[in-house]
Structure 1
Amino acid sequence: MSESTPAPSPAFVQQLNFHARDASNEAAALQAAVSLGLFEHLPEAGTAEPASLAALVKQVGGASRGVRAVVEPLVALGFIHLEDGRGYVLPPATAAFLRDAAFVAGLREARRWWHVLALLPQAVRGGAPVTWDGVEWDLLGAYRALFLAPPPSFPNAEARDFHDRFARNPARTLALVASAELGVLARLVQGASPLDVLAREVDAVPEALAVLLGTLAAMGIAQEREGGWGLTEAAGRALDAQSLPYFQRALPATLAYWEALGHLDEAVREQRFRLDLREPETARRIYQENASRISSIFASHLRLSRQAAALVRKMRPLAEARVLDVGTGSGVWGAAFGLADPSSHVTYLDSPHVLDAVRPHLAKLKLEARSRLWAGDCLSVDYGESCFDVILLPQIIPALPPAELPGFFARLARALKPGGLLLISGYLLTDRRDGPLDALYFSLRRYVTNEGDVLSLPEFRALLAPVGLTEARGFDMPIQQVVIAHRGDVAWADAASSG
């Protein structure tokens, strides 16, 4: 983007990224809550005692972790209220639209389309109904009704918002997926084009492509003007030949979780996970794809990771430091600490197929001589005693079974030298576990893939103090947060922390 080009609107970019990444998580939570009958077990505020989590689990007949994963985003969105120390209730506005039988029937009908939405590329190419589960579905007609027809009436403004998130948001996400898969976004970035020309270039039926473009228009991305279909001014500032590939990288990951999210209610009730990352081959495939995806944005993540290294360096020197990067992924966190001091040495621990993605980065940064690649399972390797000055946990806690965390932290604490630091990067929930929303959506994904959880600072402290790491604070960093813990033998950096 040239210096003369106006900067993209942060609000538009945020909305675009939300529809690419988190809208599916939010919609899955809303749809699972309806399917599980969860709302039916919540009293309206002021009419009865709040329902505790334990009571909801019993009434829904599901796993506690699963029910909580569904409820927490709905609390953050305001559709459910959490009364401290008591439990959950429905705000009057939510209770009002959930008493409307026609509205609830519409929700149940919208839920039937979750898996069919993923066939949108096929519908746009063929211009005909698609077949799913042995039944023909007029998917293009469904998109016309959602985005191109006059909106229906709703019981109240909250109901309109609920329906939009429940039914339209997943359809928006799949419109982006289809537009990327068909090459529509790439073609629009090049400039405006008449519908028939655009349809020929992306191998689509013009009338079907018009539905997809109309959906993008309703999202503020595309518009029809004199020269044909092109990007809106806001979309043109946010998406260009350089930024589009970065944006589109999120879409395959979103689609990879689609079936699992569509069966979230099943995961809660039966603990049956359609994308089970505790299954070795599934985990190998997904984490290898993740490592490759992260590697493609390694440079930008490295700049952010180096800020964490600078924070640690304010607390203790990194000269001759022995650093362990557990669950290294692309290796970006370990590399940041390797670059922080020319005498530091970093060990990168992960599975062999993930470490394959680390080697090229170390070679490019000329860190190979001060690096060790350690292939192993972070839950079973022997970390030794007093071996490391700094131990890094880059976004791996949510991937680990919660029952394993006490023993895992005990082994890591044993491996820290006196004056050593444990640095945990990733999402950090509020003390009430009612935000931030992106962290709760990430936590939901972890549940639906049978992995771990996202924690709050008090929850981290409860795990770390028993193993001797009695001091722990959270620090806000760009994009994510870090928790730094030690034995009380290191002075805290003079930096703003979250607690």
Structure 2
Amino acid sequence: MSQAPSTSFVQHLNFLARDASNESAALQAAVSLGLLNPLGATPVPLSELARRLGANVRGVRSVIEPLVALGFVTLEEGRGYSLPESTAAFLSDASFMSRLKENHDGWHAVALLPQAVRTGADVEGRDVLGWYRALFLEPQVSAPNARAEDFFDRSARNFARTQALVTAAELGLLERWVKGPGSLDALAEALGVPARSLEVLVKVLATMGIAQEVEGTWAFTEDAARMLDANSLPYFQRALPATMAYWEALGHLDEAVREQRFRLDLRDPQTARRIYQENASRISGIFASHLRLSRKAAELVRGMRSLAGARVLDVGTGSGVWGAAFGLADPSTHVTFLDSPHVLDAVRPHLAKLKLEARSRLWEGDCLSVDYGEAAYDVILLPQIIPALPSESLPGFFAKLARALRPGGVLLISGYLLTDRRDGPLDALYFALRRYVSNEGDVLSMPEFRALLNPVGLTSARGFDLPIQQVVVAHRGEHAWPEGAA
């Protein structure tokens, strides 16, 4: 039996695929906005920081929260944000800051890397391959201190690492390495690209722990080979188009914060339709694995109340995986799947395959405008939709949902859950950053959820960790919590 890749490597590669560009965008925006300039040893409240910058409070918060989690900024409860001495030291180094800003100019250029590797030439007047050589493969200027070097690496290189991974997938290099090693010339011939440009890409991948050269041939490292085999590689590569959908918007994050101008505006119906349809299709491709995870949530609820004969509503269903999990939890449940017509088209095949059609209803509508009725459902599911909704709509939305719950009803909200101080976890903060830059809603903490749930009578609420996700479960106090599950 082959060994599993190390947990640290799996986390590293998933970070590069999903969150590294978000991290770089936050750090780069902090510099370009001058977000750190007003900060010193005395804490500055968020509202005052936004006022000094002439920027949007929500946008400033979306940028500064990851910096707190990374330790570059300090948050004092009730007082505001300040700078640790190590951050203040490199901010005052003019040479370092100049070098940092120069490398930030590469954001939009690195998106041309696939074309640069294919041609081996400059693209749109930019020497993209030379930029990668200088940043990854040539001797570097020393940073003022270790903290400064960490800031530089995260802001100037992480987004470029993501683009190298995207390029390797797009060119078919990762699939080629699943078959085995090859010399640089053989790989270049198989992919139809110049060997000299492919050499830059594979050497950058080597600095990322993905590739290695052994006796004149290039291949996956041991950890990469274990993680990216023939079965798992297609699953892994599905995350990359979603990352690229936000690329331009993240590259203009400072513009969104200062001017509230969004290059990817998901409040625009046509843009939202395209992105959400792509998301539903992408999730459908990994439906089986998500179904196994979603059934854990159904087991959690069933540990609190019976699902026999339950009427379940899946709001903003996406692929339908959450509603399907509850439909399979008991042969007498009935599930209503609510979403837009083009998204529900992706749900139908799954219901047919799982033989759930007879106990299912497809409801076409907008979750904020439909009438949910009164005491109509035993369980209402919100699968990762809260961050997609405007924050100002949430009080009324939760009031409608609470009214629609029967006595003994349960509301289950899946998705990311921030710490009470909104200073982590980092992947949740990066997800929240994406939501801001696409003009959507926000990721919430448990106190923020309770502030919305208590006024509508859902006074008992707790967060639970499930495999790769978190859920918030709320009810009116009728049920005991499962032991050891929180």
Given the two structures, how large is their TM-score scaled by the length of structure 2? Answer: 0.99
Q: 2:36 aligns with which of 34, 39, 42?
A: 39
Contact 1:419 1:486 in 2 (8 A): yes
CA positional deviation for 1:491: 2.4
> Is 1:115–2:108 an aligned residue pair?
yes
Tell me the secondary structure at the aligned position of residue 128 of structure 1: coil
Q: Distance in 2 between matches of 1:9 and 1:474?
A: 28
1:242-281 → structure 2 map (5 Å cutoff)? 242-281=231-270
- What code does the residue aligned with 2:367 have? C
CA positional deviation for 1:237: 1.4
1:65-109 per-residue CA deviation (whole Å, 9 max, x = no partner) reads 100000001000000000111110111001101110011111111
1:419 aligns to what? Answer: 408
1:116-143 per-residue CA deviation (whole Å, 9 max, x = no partner) reads 1000011111111111xxxx21111110
Q: Distance in 1 between matches of 2:171 and 2:279?
A: 23
> Is 1:369–2:358 an aligned residue pair?
yes
Q: 1:19 aligns with which of 7, 16, 19?
A: 16
Q: 2:26 aligns with which of 29, 32, 39?
A: 29
Tell me the secondary structure at the aligned position of residue 481 of structure 1: strand
CA positional deviation for 1:111: 1.1
2:147 aligns to what? Answer: 158
1:344-423 → structure 2 map (5 Å cutoff)? 344-423=333-412
CA positional deviation for 1:413: 0.4
> Is 1:53–2:46 an aligned residue pair?
yes
Q: 2:209 aligns with which of 211, 220, 227?
A: 220
1:441-480 → structure 2 map (5 Å cutoff)? 441-480=430-469
Q: 2:75 aligns with which of 82, 91, 95?
A: 82
1:430-476 per-residue CA deviation (whole Å, 9 max, x = no partner) reads 00000000000000000000000000000000001111111111111
Q: Distance in 2 between matches of 1:160 and 1:397?
A: 36
Deviates more, 1:455-464 or 1:472-481: 472-481
Unaligned runs of 5+ in 1: none
- What code does the residue aligned with 1:40 have? N
1:402-447 per-residue CA deviation (whole Å, 9 max, x = no partner) reads 0000000000000000110111111100000000000000000000
Q: 1:6 aligns with which of 3, 8, 25?
A: 3
> Is 1:494–2:483 an aligned residue pair?
yes
1:298-321 per-residue CA deviation (whole Å, 9 max, x = no partner) reads 111111111111111111110000
CA positional deviation for 1:490: 2.3
Q: Distance in 2 between matches of 1:154 and 1:226?
A: 34
1:292 aligns to what? Answer: 281
Q: Distance in 2 between matches of 1:253 and 1:303?
A: 22
Q: Distance in 1 between matches of 2:415 and 2:174?
A: 31
1:93 aligns to what? Answer: 86
Q: Distance in 1 between matches of 2:239 and 2:470?
A: 21
Q: 1:235 aligns with which of 224, 228, 241?
A: 224
Q: Distance in 2 between matches of 1:306 and 1:184?
A: 35
Q: Distance in 2 between matches of 1:352 and 1:214?
A: 46
Q: Distance in 2 between matches of 1:457 and 1:328?
A: 23
Q: Distance in 2 between matches of 1:251 and 1:310?
A: 31
CA positional deviation for 1:227: 4.9
1:319-338 → structure 2 map (5 Å cutoff)? 319-338=308-327
CA positional deviation for 1:336: 0.6
Tell me the secondary structure at the aligned position of residue 4 of structure 2: coil
CA positional deviation for 1:151: 2.6
Q: Distance in 2 between matches of 1:429 and 1:215?
A: 34
Tell me the secondary structure at the aligned position of residue 320 of structure 1: coil
1:325-365 per-residue CA deviation (whole Å, 9 max, x = no partner) reads 00001111100100011000000000011101111111111
Contact 1:390 1:420 in 2 (8 A): yes
- What code does the residue aligned with 1:458 have? P
User: Following TM superposition, where does structure 1 have runs of at least 4 consecutive aligned residues deviating by more than 4 angstroms?
Assistant: none
- What code does the residue aligned with 1:385 have? E
Over the matched positions of the two proteins, sequence identity in percent amounts to 74
Report how many residues are paired.
486
Contact 1:192 1:227 in 2 (8 A): no
Given the two structures, how large is their TM-score scaled by the length of structure 1? Answer: 0.96
- What code does the residue aligned with 1:14 have? Q
1:435 aligns to what? Answer: 424
Contact 1:428 1:481 in 2 (8 A): yes
2:170 aligns to what? Answer: 181
Q: Distance in 1 between matches of 2:10 and 2:419?
A: 25
CA positional deviation for 1:7: 1.3
Tell me the secondary structure at the aligned position of residue 348 of structure 1: strand
Unaligned runs of 5+ in 2: none
Q: Distance in 2 between matches of 1:245 and 1:489?
A: 44
